[in-house]
Amino acid sequence: FFIGDLHRQIEQLHREQYAGTTAANTFTVYRGQGLSIEDFEQTMKTKGGLISFNNFLSTSMVRKVSLDFAQDAARNPDQVGVLFIIEINPALLTTPFASIAGISKFQREGEVLFSLHSVFRIEDIKQMSENNHLHEVYLTLTAENDPELNRLTDYIRKESFPGSERWYRLGRVLRKMDEFDTAEDIYQVLFNQTKDDKNRADIYVHLGLIKNDQGKYKEALTFYEKSLDIYQKTLSRNHPSLAISYSNIGNVHNSMGNYPKALSFYEKALETQQQSLSPNHPDLAISYINIGNVHNSMGNYPKALSYFEKALTIQQKSLPPDHSDLVYFYNNIGNVYSKMGNYPKALSSYEKVLEISQQSLSRNDHDLGIPLVNISNVHAEMGNYPQVLFCFEKILEVQQQSLPSNHDNLASSYNNIGNVHYRMRNYSKALFYYEKDLEISQQSLPPNHPDLAMSYNNIGNVHADMGNNPEALSSYEKALEIQQQSLPPGHPNLAASYNNIGTV
């Protein structure tokens, strides 16, 4: 009741304050807050796209007030301080907002309050400080007739079961928002109100999906089996809902590591689909992928490859050759070829992934690092170290454009490049990159973390091979000291460290 009442008050104030305004009355408000590094990275990737705040949004017309909040947040090493600079055109038809400066406790802040689910476009992102922990994010409030917003709204509406009642749709949306308890409450109320077996079976499916998302696989399995029991009694043998039920049960068994049972249910789903769907229907591709994944997990690589290729063939008939959805299929095929030791074919698949990804992602998007890592791993297996080095340097270049300078992914890249130089006997370069890795790791990891011991060991190995025995001994002893605090007494890494110290 409070939420609805507050929304109506903002609507009323909006009508009173902005009636008859034009674009010439455009003004700017500010909001300062902290974002987790992960959330900020996602915001960087969404530049040019839309962002929504899922609650009432408080902003200020005074820049300094909001900047203080952002600067406070930037002092937390796990956060990025963000100053949102929001341009408002009051003439647009938008989510309501209103100035509450006259009724707020903090009247000097010039507070402007936006109602729930305001949607903004991210126009630009600028770094404000050298340590990459303080940024300005420029937003504009979107109009209700914004084409991209309308497309997104239509997509969500379709994804939320267009044929179902509003409460079913709300439960689906809440599940996607990870509001599992509220979604479960809604479905339990719906279950208690219905006497129709078909509706009850559908609700069991939704409850199973919630439990599966929570990792409560046994509870999910119970709900899925209840829905399957009803479907088997009320539906024809080739009904699509039966195939979905078999797949859901297969998913749970797969997550629990029960691969033979997962395979059995995935095959039942495929058999049901083959009776009712055309040979190139996209749902068949999903079943082929599911079966291929289980065979992959069981080490049946030739069978996994066969099913992955069937899935890819279907997708290629319905999608353009550079469609981003094909990345998943080529990547699966590359992984299987790599496990089978067929590195040239693995490399061909991974290069196809990179080719498609480069067309759908910006050149500085660190998601490009995933296919580059796979390509570099294959080259390493083939002994092509210069090519491995090229791939890792490209990954580092992308990361340096998109990540904070002390991000742990950068540390991993420095370590990877150091490893390649070490194998190529470029000891001075290996030492440089290992020390860069250590520098970042010391900032982001606790002092007794095993990864720090690995960094010291790597540095020790380089010094030992260069004949710098005192420096090697110092690094090995630091590694051992960390391992003695973090590893059990019989751990093999301790034995390796004792051996390193003994041989210097």
Residue 99's DSSP bridge partners are: 112
Q: Within 10 A of 87 (CB to CB), how many other CB atoms are there?
A: 15
Beta strands 97-99 and 79-88: pairing type? unpaired
Residue with tokens 């055309």: 278
> Which residues in the chain show pLDDT less than 70?
1-5, 54, 102-109, 117, 131, 144-146, 148-166, 360-369
Question: If phi over 0 gives left and psi between -120 and 50 gives alpha, with beta otherwise, what is residue 338?
Answer: alpha
Alpha-carbon span 180 to 495, nearest angstrom: 47
- Given a contact cutoff of 8 angstroms between Cβ atoms, the answer to whether 62 and 72 are in contact is no
305: nearest Cα among 297, 314, 316, 295? 295
Q: Within 10 A of 134 (CB to CB), how many other CB atoms are there?
A: 21
pLDDT at 5: 66
Four-residue CA torsion sign, 274, 276, 280, 281: negative
Alpha-carbon span 273 to 39, nearest angstrom: 39
Residue 58's DSSP bridge partners are: 113
Radius of gyration of the chain (CA): 28
pLDDT at 306: 98
- Written as one string, the DSSP assignment of 169-203 is HHHHHHHHTT-HHHHHHHHHHHHHH---HHHHHHH
Q: Where are the domains of the chain?
A: 2-156, 411-504
Residue with tokens 């409460």: 167
Domain range 2-156, CATH class: alpha beta
Q: Quote the DSSP letter at residue 142.
A: P
Q: Quote the DSSP letter at residue 342.
A: -
pLDDT at 131: 65
Q: Quote the DSSP letter at residue 20.
A: T
Q: Within 10 A of 52 (CB to CB), how many other CB atoms are there?
A: 14
pLDDT at 189: 81
pLDDT at 160: 46
CATH superfamily of 411-504: Tetratricopeptide repeat domain (1.25.40.10)
At 115 the three-state DSSP class reads coil
